[in-house]
Amino acid sequence: MDSTEIDRDQLGIWIDSAVKNYDKVPKKDIYRNIGASLISMGLEADHDMGSRSLLKEKQTFNFEEKPIDSTNRFVNTISQEIPAENAEKAGKDFWEIFKKKAKDNICGNSGIVKLLEDKKINEALEKIVPTVLIAMGVSGLGAPVITVIAIGVLMLLLKAGIESLCELGSTS
């Protein structure tokens, strides 16, 4: 997947929503929404710093070898009730891993850094979203859970200040 494969209209909606709402939504709500989305998909943050991926399966579903068992576990995963504190913890965990791994993926991209230096935040976000989605290894960009995660990440980036992630302007 690359940036040309992402629907520009969808990308614009995500960015507009994030820009409009980032200062209205508390961080804990963003964490909870991201965490609940990840849990419902059976995913968690990938703590392996050697891996460029942000996510991994919480449990493997082998539908070929164990179709009934895997199907039952998958249905249980996606239909479970998710306590708010568990979702918030999963979202925070993802965000911490994201920040560590994003420095390479985002701050190592000279095009994104140039846009940030020029204060062209929306254009930088347009380049960041594909980078994040590729690192997440997700497909089905129209899926509501992906939308929740993407908008949540964008809002957290805006709250934290994308420039601070890449430590721009901190050399003085």
Residue 171 has pLDDT above 50, yes or no: no
Tell me which residue range forms the domain holding 103.
Answer: 83-171
Residue 164 belongs to some domain of the structure:
yes
Domain count, the chain: 1
For residue 55, what are the β-bridge partners? 45
Does any domain span residue 62? no
Tell me whether residue 30 is in a domain. no
Inside any domain, residue 35: no
Could you say which DSSP state residue 23 is in? T
pLDDT digits (tens, 9 = 90+) for 39-67: 887 788 888 888 878 887 776 555 666 66
Angle at CA of residue 69, ends 67 and 75, nearest 5°: 95
Residue at 6 is within a domain: no
Does the pLDDT at position 4 exceed 50? no
